[in-house]
Amino acid sequence: AQSVAQPEDQVNVAEGNPLTVKCTYSVSGNPYLFWYVQYPNRGLQFLLKYITGDNLVKGSYGFEAEFNKSQTSFHLKKPSALVSDSALYFCAVRDIEGGKLIFGQGTELSVKP
Amino acid sequence: GEEVAQTPKHLVRGEGQKAKLYCAPIKGHSYVFWYQQVLKNEFKFLISFQNENVFDETGMPKERFSAKCLPNSPCSLEIQATKLEDSAVYFCASSLGQGRQETQYFGPGTRLLVL
């Protein structure tokens, strides 16, 4: 069975500092990995995805993610956090059969001024 | 349209009542997915469609939940005889294709509260 795990329920960062939100995956075959962000009372917004190719994927709002096959990780990063980045972040893997997304538990990012 | 649209935004039902939720996918997208978000974080897949055909229904509690995507109409998710545990936010997503590289774009969700 495929799965993703987000080991941290909450990440706290000071504005201007780099941020990392962790995600590890367990899949059979090649992983297709996604990051989404959810602002309060809003839907999920797509940030970026890894399909194949470069291990460093750049996405929306200055976010990037690093795919590491040996560590089965796909951590989300941003060099300089903004207060407006405070939200819930979800890592997901696309299911081999049927195309549904399998989500991690979510990580609440809090960026303080 | 350019975004996935979901109606209504909020829905309150007494236990045992019916609830019907609607989703209009992005124009040109052939695949529609329904997810249920409970307890703020946990996402559960319910069902997906390829145009008007059910593609994957492995997540559907079939005894009370049903869904349709008919031509020229919004897709719908219906819950007969709602229960307290159906209280959740229901998200619809659409994608151009079914390939694993395809991005799913989500609507704003419908918040269902069952009293």
Best residue in A101, A105, A109 to probe B by mutation, most B CBs within 10 Å? Answer: A101
Q: How close A20 gets to chain B, by Cα (Å)?
A: 19
Q: Which of B42, B48, B106 sits opposite A99 (nearest CB)?
A: B48
Which residue from B2, B1, B21, B18 is spatially nearest to B10, judged by alpha carbons? B21
Q: For residue A99, what is the domain's CATH number?
A: 2.60.40.10
* Closest B-chain CA to A9: B41
- Within 8 A of A88 by CB-CB distance, chain B residues are 40-41
Tell me if A46 and B42 make a contact (CB, 8 A cut-off): no
Say what the pLDDT of residue A98 is. 64
C-alpha R_g of chain A: 13
Tell me if B101 and A103 make a contact (CB, 8 A cut-off): no
Q: Which of B43, B100, B109 sits opposite A94 (nearest CB)?
A: B100
Is B22's Cβ below 8 Å from some Cβ in A? Answer: no
Structural domain including A96 reads: 3-112
- List pLDDT tens digits, range B58-101: 999 989 999 999 988 999 999 999 999 999 999 999 999 878 78
Q: Over 90: is that where the pLDDT of B2 sits?
A: no
Q: Which of B6, B48, B108 sits opposite A100 (nearest CB)?
A: B48
- List pLDDT tens digits, range A26-64: 998 889 999 999 998 788 999 999 998 889 999 999 999
Q: Over 90: is that where the pLDDT of B52 sits?
A: yes
Tell me if A101 and B43 make a contact (CB, 8 A cut-off): yes
Q: Over 80: is that where the pLDDT of A17 sits?
A: yes
Structural domains counted in chain A: 1
Q: For residue B69, what is the domain's CATH number?
A: 2.60.40.10
DSSP-based three-state secondary structure for B86: helix
Q: What's the rounded Cα separation, in Å, for the pair A54 and A69?
A: 12
Beta bridge partner(s), residue A91: A35
Long-range contacts of B22-26 (CB under 8 A, 24+ apart): B22/B74, B22/B75, B22/B76, B23/B74, B23/B75, B23/B76, B23/B77, B23/B92, B23/B94, B23/B107, B24/B74, B24/B75, B25/B75, B25/B92, B25/B94, B26/B1, B26/B2, B26/B94, B26/B105
- Within 8 A of B45 by CB-CB distance, chain A residues are 100-102
Tokens of B69: 């995507």
C-alpha R_g of chain B: 13
Q: Which of A34, A46, A103 sits opposite B43 (nearest CB)?
A: A103
Is B72's Cβ below 8 Å from some Cβ in A? Answer: no
Q: How close B17 gets to chain A, by Cα (Å)?
A: 25
Structural domains counted in chain B: 1
* Closest A-chain CA to B32: A100
Across chain A, mean pLDDT equals: 94
